[in-house]
Structure formats: C-alpha cells, structure tokens
Amino acid sequence: MKKTIYLFFLTLFLTSGYSNLLAQAKTKEVKNTAGSKDLPMANLPADDKRKFDYYFYEAMNAKSAGKYDAAFDLLKYCLAIDSTNANVYYELGNYYNSLDSKNKALDFYRKATNYDGNNFYYNMAYAGLCLEFKQYSDAIEQFEKLLAASPENSELYVYLSEAYRMDGDIQSAISTLDKLEQIVGLNDKISLHKYQLYTMIKQENKAFAEMQKYIDKYPNEIKYQILLANLYLQAGKNDEAYIVYSKAKSIDPDDPYLISSLAEYYERTNNKKAAEEELHTALISPKMDIDTKLAILAQYVGSLQQNRQDTQVANALFDSLMIQHPQEPKLNLMYGNLLMLQNKKDDARFQYQVFADANPTNPTGWEQMLSTTFPDSLDVSIKTCKDAISYIPDQPQFYFYLGVSEYMKENYKSALDALQQGVEYVDEENTPLLSDFYGQIGDLYYHQEMLDSAFITYDKALRYNPNNLGVLNNYSYFLSLTKKNLDKAEKMSSITVKAEPSNPTYLDTYGWVLFEQGAYTMAKIYIENAIKYSEEKKEELSGEVLEHYGDVLYKTGEQEKALEYWIKAKEKGDSKSKTLDKKIEEKTYISE
C-alpha cells in the first residue's frame, strides 16, 4: 500500500468584522480595579494581610512571567487565607477560562461579582460567560447593572443589545441601540445593526427607514445612496434598488462602488451585457487608479461566485485591463487566482510566473505556482521550488515541497537533503510544520533501510505533534513490517482510525497491525472496511491492500478466496512483496 505522504498547505485567512462598531464614539473611561494593589480584604489579622499581599504579588509576578502553574498555586494559597477576595476569584476564573474549563470559570466569576459587585471587569467577564452558557437573563442583568453605573459607556449598549437579541427580545435590542444613538449620534453601523434586527421581525418599512434617514440628512453623500440600494437589492426589491442607484449616478457616475453595485444589479436581473458594459466603462476610465479597478474586479468575481454564476465572463475584463496596465504584476496574480477557480491550471501558472518574475523575493508567486503543479507535475514542482529557493533561501515551505516531490519520484537521497536543509529554517514555535518535516525525514530513513534513525525521527516528530495522523500511520505500519513493538504500533494506529474512521489507508494499517498480533478476525473487519471505503470513494486499490486481504482470508479459513485476492494483487503490478509469487504458486500463506 502506498502509505500517507502528509503535507501542509499554506492558507491565507482573511478575516473581517465589525469589532470597531463604535470607533468614533466617545466612551466613558472605566478604571480597571482588577489587579489593583489596594485589594478589598476581609477583616484579617495583620499577619494574614501581610501574607496575602506577599503571595498575591508573587502570583501576579508569576503570571507576568508566563509561569501559570506557579501563579495558580499561589492564588489558591491566597484564597485559603482570604476566601472573600473578589480579585483572587477573578484571576482564578481567568485561569480556568484559559484552560477551557468554562463551568469552573463561570463559578469563579460569579463569586467575584458577589464579593465586589461594582467592578466593571468582573461583571463583564461573568456576563460574557453567561452568554456562552445561554444564561441570557443573567447576562442582561449584569449589563443593565453596569449601564446603570456608567450610562455614558457606549460599548455596554452594544453588549446589552446583543444579549437581548440572543434571548429573542428583538424589540428590546432595538430600543437599546436607540438609546446608544442618542449618545453617539447617527452612526451607519448602528443603523445597519438595527436594519438587520427590524428585518428579523419582518418590519421592512422600519428597516429601510433606518437607512433613508442618512439620505435625508446627507442627500449628496453617494455612499448612503449605494448602501440603501444594495439593501433593496439583497431584499429582492429590484425596482426600488434601481431608483436609488439612478439617484446615486446623478451624484457621481464614476464612483467605483456604484459601478460594481450596478454591475451586480444587472447580473441579478439577467442583463449580463449591461453588467459587462458598466464594468468595462470603469476599467477603461483614466480617472480610476489600478488598485480601485482591481477592487472592483475582485468584488465582481466574488459576486459571481456568491450567485453561482459563470466566472469566465470576467476573463475578458481582465484581458482588457492587462492591455492598459501591462506592467502591473499584481493584476497577473489576481487573474491567476481567477483562472484557478476555473481549473485552468496552465493558464494560471503563466500568470503566476509573470508575478514571480517581477517579485522574485515574494513567496506568494512561487507558492501559487506550486498550487498549479503539485502533485500532478513533479518535475515542474521541483524546478519551481529550486527557483524559489535561489531567491528566498530561508523559506521552509519550498524545501518541504521539494523534498516531497523528490520522494514521490523515489529520489530518496535528494529528498532527504532538501528536507534536512529546510527544517533548519522552521520557526521552533511552528510545531505542526516541524512534525511534518521530521515525519517525512523518518519515512526517507526507512526507505533507505536506516530503521533505527527512522524510528528515532518518528518519535521526534510526535513530540512536536502527538496527533500527527500521517506520522502515526506510517510509524505504526513500518513497525508492523519489522514485527517489533506491535503494542505500540496498535496504540498509534488506533488513534488514526478513531480520528478518520473511513480512511482506507488508516484502516488497512490498523488491520495489518492486528494481523501481525494474531487477531485475524478483527483484522479482516478493518481490511474489508478499507476496501469498502476505497470503492465508495472511487480510489484505486493498491496491490498491497489486496495482498493483505488475501492473507487475512487465508488465516480465517477462506483459502480459495485468498488465492483469488493474491492473484488480483499480482495483476495490479505495483506490489513489492517478496512472497506474493510463492503464495500463488503454493496456494498457501507465506510470511515475509
């Protein structure tokens, strides 16, 4: 069986949100009493007060130094001295929260608020966990108490409104935002939130009125016209959307966001020609810079994807833009991404190559090129990795893919050299990548019959990531082939089948380990499942799996069927078994 070659894939996580909802609002500053030296204390003897102060100070020092176990022990000692100290309960609540022991954290936060009900941070921590536990009424009570004490603190209105929304009291959520609006004035993000809330209770007129008030106050601000029109479009009110878009066009027909919104409008109303004309007008406009044009194109492609429309209509727009801006490699990068969406790998690779040639020290171009070649074109992948390394020799991902590609071509020495060079550039904190590197190096040691080095390296890989399924699978399988440490092999392999119970490779490995332990009936169940899931997933069965099944059939008393599978294994032509021919010839199981 072809064992797992485990890879890491570079992923760009793009995040966006509305955490700065009230960035422009003025909030009342709240003094943080958590961690204050003047701790509220019980009526303790002077000696106990001195002990408490000393151990709490040491606990905070340990926490600052990242010695969390020591900080925890010291805080517990503080609690033994003064069981009514809110700050200790709060710090212990934070500790349990960081360990994901949410029930304990909730209990400690609750006690902190009981002993010091006016502390902003204790109440906020307790209310936040109440929301997680869906104890909405408790959270609402905390936020209302805080607001009563700090009515000018704008962020509390947002939290309270969200608590009401989660509790299903939409009208109270809206009323809370109305109060906030009285403090901070008109704020489009608040109004958008209210729009969504009104929409939830099907009060569309009030929802749209929220946005109309901006147009009434700022009639020449095109962004509000576009926003309202977009909301009409999302609600399926196409006629109303077009009327507002037309008003916006009278303000500034060249506004890039208006153009992209109009293009989406025409797409939704099945007027593709008009959509393309809008975009084409924008893209040939000399008033618009290249970054804005790229933003319009990106938004347009995103809209096509979201609406499950053919993205190829955007190709002509890219071609037109590239004629105007032949020296803009970021355009090539974006076009390459579009072509990849269309599964046009060769065309995409050409665009990525242009970007990489213009920006050879930027890893993005080389990484994207690899996405078009690996694992289908190993020779091209190898060349791409070597080219990338010649410009940016400190990027470990290229050594990894170079090593894996050489490994797949069975150039084991070249693969090992690449991986051993590359692992030196991996950040010590990037333990998953270090585990993958050492796991792959372990495989290569095994293939070069350096078994002790292989198993030592696998152990090192698992120290970095004990749940690396690829390493666990290969390590356990190669141990079973040596017929050594079968209990260890069984434990490691069992982790993989629990994690991925329908993975044919992991099932076959576990079945074979059980076979070597003499558990033939159980082995048969797992190897049969490996075959079943391979067929369901339309994955080609290797000769090794078929031979394994033949072996287990023989051991469970189905000799004729065993011979049938041994013959199937031989017909596959990929088996490296030293005994398969003899098994077929003598019609009996022969151990390697």
Q: Is the pLDDT of residue 26 over 60?
A: no
% the chain with pLDDT above 90: 58
Mutual angle of helices 86-98 and 102-115, in 10-degree steps? 160
- Smallest Cα–Cα separation from 525: which of 503, 561, 553, 500? 553
Instruction: Say if 446 falls within a structural domain.
Output: yes
Residue-level pLDDT at 275? 82
CA–CA separation, 396 vs 294, rounded Å? 31
Tokens linked to 367: 């990484």
Q: Is the pLDDT of residue 19 over 70?
A: no
Residue-level pLDDT at 1? 44
Instruction: Say if 503 falls within a structural domain.
Output: no
Cis, bond preceding 375 (omega within 30 deg of 0): yes
pLDDT confidence of 7, banded at 50, 70, 90?
very low
Residue-level pLDDT at 371? 95
Q: Give the chain's mean pLDDT.
A: 87
CB 364 within 8 A of CB 334: no
CA–CA separation, 179 vs 191, rounded Å? 12
Instruction: Say if 89 falls within a structural domain.
Output: no
pLDDT in tens, 349-380: 999 999 999 999 999 999 999 999 999 999 99
pLDDT confidence of 545, banded at 50, 70, 90?
very high
CA–CA separation, 139 vs 128, rounded Å? 7
Instruction: Say if 141 falls within a structural domain.
Output: no
Question: Dmax of the chain from CA atoms?
Answer: 93
SS3 for 199-238 is HHCCCHHHHHHHHHHHHHHCCCCHHHHHHHHHHHHHCCCH
Distances in Å between the Cα of 72 and the Cα atoms of 67, 85, 95, 96, 122 are: 9, 15, 7, 10, 18
pLDDT in tens, 449-496: 999 999 999 999 999 999 999 999 999 999 999 998 999 999 999 999
DSSP state letter for 539: P
Indicate the range of 203-207, 227-231, 286-290 predicted with least confidence: 286-290
Mean pLDDT of 207-231: 83
The dihedral over CA atoms of 51, 56, 62, 66, expressed in degrees to the nearest 10, equals: 160
The H or E element containing residue 81 is helix 68-81
Which amino acid, residue 483? K
CB 454 within 8 A of CB 446: yes
Q: Is the pLDDT of residue 16 over 50?
A: no
CB 368 within 8 A of CB 353: no
Spatial neighbors of 434 by CB under 8 A, at least 6 apart, are 423, 426, 428, 461, 464, 465
Tokens linked to 166: 């989660």
More confident residue, 9 or 570: 570
CATH number at residue 441: 1.25.40.10
- Long-range contacts at 515-524 (CB < 8 A, ≥ 24 apart): 515/548, 515/551, 515/552, 515/555, 516/480, 516/483, 516/486, 516/489, 517/486, 517/490, 520/552, 520/555, 520/556, 521/556, 523/552, 523/555, 524/549, 524/552, 524/553, 524/556
Residue-level pLDDT at 260? 78
Most confident of 9-13, 63-67, 203-207: 63-67
Instruction: Say if 379 falls within a structural domain.
Output: yes
Mean pLDDT of 8-15: 28
Handedness of CA 466, 468, 474, 480 (dihedral sign): positive
Determine how many CB atoms are found less than 10 A away from the CB of residue 307.
10
For residue 252, give the 3-state DSSP assignment: coil
% the chain with pLDDT above 70: 93
Residue-level pLDDT at 428? 93
Q: Is the pLDDT of residue 18 over 70?
A: no
Instruction: Say if 522 falls within a structural domain.
Output: no
For residue 13, give the 3-state DSSP assignment: coil
CA–CA separation, 386 vs 377, rounded Å? 14
pLDDT in tens, 236-283: 889 989 998 999 988 988 787 788 788 888 888 888 888 878 777 777
Tokens linked to 251: 């303000």
CA–CA separation, 219 vs 251, rounded Å? 9
Instruction: Say if 46 falls within a structural domain.
Output: no
Q: Is the pLDDT of residue 332 over 70?
A: yes
The DSSP annotation for 49-67 comes to HHHHHHHHHHHHHHHHTT-
What range does the domain containing 401 cover? 374-466
Determine how many CB atoms are found less than 10 A away from the CB of residue 305.
12
Q: What's the structural domain count of the chain?
A: 1
Mean pLDDT of 491-515: 96
Determine how many CB atoms are found less than 10 A away from the CB of residue 334.
19
CB 324 within 8 A of CB 286: no
pLDDT in tens, 575-584: 778 899 999 9
Q: Is the pLDDT of residue 39 over 80?
A: no
Residue-level pLDDT at 40? 52
Q: Is the pLDDT of residue 62 over 60?
A: yes
Instruction: Say if 561 falls within a structural domain.
Output: no
Residue-level pLDDT at 357? 95
Q: Is the pLDDT of residue 175 over 60?
A: yes
HSE-up of residue 478 (Cα within 13 Å, Cβ side): 27
pLDDT in tens, 381-431: 999 999 999 999 999 999 999 999 999 999 999 999 999 999 999 999 999
pLDDT in tens, 176-208: 988 988 888 878 788 778 878 887 888 878 878
pLDDT in tens, 72-100: 999 999 999 999 999 999 999 999 988 88
Residue-level pLDDT at 411? 96
pLDDT confidence of 568, banded at 50, 70, 90?
very high
pLDDT in tens, 517-544: 999 999 999 999 999 999 998 888 889 9
